[in-house]
């Protein structure tokens, strides 16, 4: 069975600072996809960033970047220049076999003014 | 522009009274998913459709069923809701399997 672990239930960061959210996963698959989703309070879930396991280069989307360590099965999210709008629940997710999608338990991030 | 639409946003039902939640999409995506998300927990996949092919997660209760009459619409039927079924129900779509999922705003179900 696939599991996704987010060991930090809550985190906070000062506005304009950098924060890293951790995620580890367990799988025997060699080909899979990893995602970070953001769920702001009372708003819908949106994609932050995605990574294909076969790509060695870490994905980057503006202020968001990942540190993908395939051998260690680690997929952390770095948010640079944190903004108040980054306050949300962040879910790490794993996908294999096309349609089987597994979420971690989430990290609640608060950006402090 | 709304891409994944869920109706209603809030649904109240009585214990044991059947309820149907609706999801529609304007993206023409092949895959549609239903998730259950309880307070402060991760979304849990209930089932998904790849086109007309229905895929049920092994631990999804029999009380939950789904219909996809066409590409655009997918319904979640809860035959006899219990208090434990109170949750946010999320619909999502993707073009194909290993791809980004686009989520709707969710329907919050309350069971009295």
CATH code of the domain in which B67 resides? 2.60.40.10
Interface test with B, best of A45, A48, A92, A106 (most B CBs within 10 A): A45
* pLDDT for residue A19 is more than 80: yes
B75 close to A (CB below 8 A)? no
Q: Round to whole Å and give the CA distance between A91 and B41.
A: 10
**B108 domain residue, yes or no:** no
How much of chain A exceeds pLDDT 90, in percent? Answer: 76
Predicted confidence band of residue A18 (pLDDT cuts 50, 70, 90): very high
CB contact under 8 A, B103 and A46: yes
B20: containing domain: 4-103
How much of chain B exceeds pLDDT 70, in percent? Answer: 96
**B10 domain residue, yes or no:** yes
Q: Which of chain A's residues have a Cβ under 8 Å away from the Cβ of B48?
A: 99
- The shortest CB-CB distance from B42 to any of A33, A46, A104 is to A104
Tally of domains in chain B: 1
CB contact under 8 A, A98 and B42: no
List the single range of A17-26, A39-48, B27-36 with lowest mean pLDDT.
Answer: A39-48
Residue A92: its pLDDT value, please? 96
Triad A32, B62, B21: Cα angle to 5°: 80
**B85 domain residue, yes or no:** yes
Region B60-73: mean pLDDT is 94
Region B103-109: mean pLDDT is 94
The full set of domains in chain A, from first to last, is 3-112 (2.60.40.10)
List the single range of A88-92, A104-108, B41-45 with lowest mean pLDDT.
Answer: B41-45
Q: Which of chain B's residues have a Cβ under 8 Å away from the Cβ of A32?
A: 98
């Amino acid at each position: 069975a696939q599991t996704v672990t987010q060991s930090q239930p809550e985190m906070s960061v000062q506005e304009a600072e950098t924060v890293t959210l951790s995620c580890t996963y367990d799988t025997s698959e060699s080909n899979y996809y990893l995602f970070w989703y953001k769920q702001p309070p009372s708003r819908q879930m949106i994609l932050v960033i995605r990574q294909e396991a076969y790509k060695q280069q870490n994905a980057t989307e503006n202020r968001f970047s990942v540190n993908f360590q395939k051998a260690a099965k680690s997929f952390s999210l770095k948010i640079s220049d944190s903004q108040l709008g980054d306050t949300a629940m962040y879910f790490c997710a794993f996908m294999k076999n096309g349609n089987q999608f597994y979420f971690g338990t989430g990290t609640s991030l608060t950006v402090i003014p | 522009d709304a891409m994944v639409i869920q109706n209603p946003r809030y649904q109240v039902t009585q214990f044991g009274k059947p309820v149907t939640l609706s999801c529609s999409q304007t993206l023409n995506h092949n895959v549609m998913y239903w998730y259950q998300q309880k307070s402060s927990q991760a979304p849990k996949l209930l089932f998904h459709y790849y086109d007309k092919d229905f895929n049920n997660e092994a631990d999804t209760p029999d009380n939950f069923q789904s219909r996809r009459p066409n590409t655009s619409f997918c319904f979640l039927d809860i035959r006899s809701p219990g208090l434990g079924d109170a949750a946010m129900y999320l619909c999502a779509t993707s073009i194909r399997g290993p791809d980004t999922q686009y989520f709707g705003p969710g329907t919050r179900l309350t069971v009295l």
